[in-house]
Structure 1
């Protein structure tokens, strides 16, 4: 799932490549992806992209006052294209959800554009066309951006939440921008169990956690800024130390990275670095270590 660093890097890429271009046409290939009907996507035709921003994990393209807002969900992505086909795509064919055609900045073709795609059968990619980003329910419910949360604010936010720390970090209404992958990385860097209760952290743990949130996200962002959209996923994977590395050695201590699986997701952690050497059990079978 694209998280804060990837979406921010996409923002930077689109500011460089899309701002100042006029939208010539928008093709909808997956009806379930569009979550609004007024204004229609056709209203974008002839309007200029004037800005690009981010709200948590939402991408926001300002198109002359209308906002094309995208949540890429778990398996969505934005692909920059040159020389898009003129024929409209066939609905329901392949991963394509929305195609945005842009005018070239000079008289010479090919005209560029971008595709919003989603792999797999579980379709969660969401596209909104609104007059203000606050009309998007997910944006209206967002907590403060993770990069804007200092130690004192983090302590207050977590102190109000009685639940496991992993879930608190990924709750977008509490802190915006952190997902499954970077929460694993943050907790590993902070040397804290994912199942520690959020409101039971000691002062030293809060300091380590706040420092880890900033360090992990800014390091990922520094590595990804300036990358092309096509290379951002690979750059994210290359920087991960525990997430999606089950069975591999921890780069800090050499212990084997372990996994806890849930119905539709999983987490990874290092027992030596985070849980005093004790493996975590799956809650479906036994009580989790805290």
Structure 2
């Protein structure tokens, strides 16, 4: 064994053991029990703000879906007793009543359920269709000119004009709002995903995997999808508050859901008309609306950061 030195001082031989070369052991590599989803959730739940907002979303969502099932209060029930009109919050009507004596507490949770359903359906269609089309668009170069032209045509039409035209052509309904919002949003998501897939496709580790003969499905599962998951979650989280806000805007211009539909957007617009006299009629639905949209936005950002493989240790 060659002599070993440290700072010019010779070290004694009995401090070292000579290990013979083993060709078989030299070919073995280290093993890691790394799990993408375990690392993602561990990173996400490190933040107390994330845990708090997730609890708020779960509680509000469960309550809004379960309350109409177990409650016997009709949110559309009108009373002829004028003493029960425009009553402020009390022990019987926690959020008060509106100008027709309808219970705002019950209407708020019915409206939250309907607005969440609307937003989730739109997010599912927009992000789902957009991600699939974007992935195909990024891999199949032959359809690129066609998709670019389609993208330019749809996106050059102002979204407000597009929504108003569709709302005039179709009768106001839940389906109309879904079609109006999702029919223009999917192409934007597709273009975004296409650009990301193109950048991932040309990355060094994907080229190395292709040179090593790695199957395409393994490349997609291990090299592409983990990088897209964070983007999909982020876009879905942003679509939920955007959809609810668009429903409020369409209701404001008189092109939203019918007035007999109980949604947060309709309640905010109806309460706005009486805000100076009875501010609580707009205040409570707006408060619930703000909590939902802000919570979804922050949780989406937090989970997107946690699911990004670059942030995993």
TM-score (norm 2): 0.24
Structure with the largest fraction of strand: 1
Larger of the two Rg values belongs to structure: 2
| More helix by percentage | 2
Q: Please report the TM-score for the alignment, with normalisation by the length of structure 1.
A: 0.26
Structure with larger RCO (C-alpha < 8 A, sep 6+): 2
